[in-house]
């Protein structure tokens, strides 16, 4: 039982390049989330998907897009990477909304030069 799986674990991009971070969960959860973690700022919500077929903006959505491909998968795309997007990105899922526990992946460490 893998839980939440994120790929890749590490990535280095040049400014202006694009990439997609992949996330998959095998717990049959309805809700999925993307957070970024920066030193001294905790985790900030980028986008979330309350259920299959829906997505909503979080606190810091600018520069990102998401796709809820199916119930299992929720991807995060950076269309034109900027140094300010250097961060650790976490995907999470929960059974139903934010009052049920979030299960996190192990993160993707992204550096934009």
Q: Is 106 among the residues that bind another protein (CB under 8 A)?
A: yes
Is the peptide bond prior to 13 cis by the omega test (within 30 degrees of 0)? no
Nearest to residue 20, comparing CAs of 82, 86, 67? 67
Q: Return the residue of 30, 55, 58, 72 that touches another protein, per CB under 8 A.
A: 58
Whether 43 contacts 35, CB under 8 Å? yes
Q: Is 61 among the residues that bind another protein (CB under 8 A)?
A: no
**How far, in Å, CA of 69 to CA of 74, rounded?**
6
Whether 113 contacts 15, CB under 8 Å? yes
Q: How far is the CB of 11 from another protein (least distance, A)?
A: 16
Q: Is 53 among the residues that bind another protein (CB under 8 A)?
A: no
Q: Return the residue of 8, 16, 83, 97 that touches another protein, per CB under 8 A.
A: 97
Stretch 9-48 residues interacting with another protein (CB under 8 A): 33, 35, 40-45, 48
Whether 9 contacts 106, CB under 8 Å? yes
Q: Is 62 among the residues that bind another protein (CB under 8 A)?
A: no
Residue 60, token pair as written in the block = 């810091």
Chain residues binding another protein by CB under 8 A are 4, 33, 35, 40-45, 48, 50, 58-59, 90, 92, 97-99, 101-102, 104-107
């Amino acid at each position: 039982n893998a839980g939440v799986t994120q790929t890749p674990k590490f990535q280095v991009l040049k400014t202006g390049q694009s990439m997609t971070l992949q996330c998959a969960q095998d717990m049959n959860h309805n809700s999925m989330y993307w957070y970024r973690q920066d030193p001294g700022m905790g985790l900030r919500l980028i986008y979330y998907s309350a259920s299959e077929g829906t997505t909503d903006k979080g606190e810091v959505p600018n520069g990102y897009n998401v796709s809820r491909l199916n119930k299992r998968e929720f991807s995060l795309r950076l269309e034109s990477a900027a140094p300010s997007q250097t961060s650790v990105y976490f995907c999470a899922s929960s059974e139903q909304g934010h009052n049920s526990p979030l299960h996190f992946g192990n993160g993707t460490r992204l550096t934009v030069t």
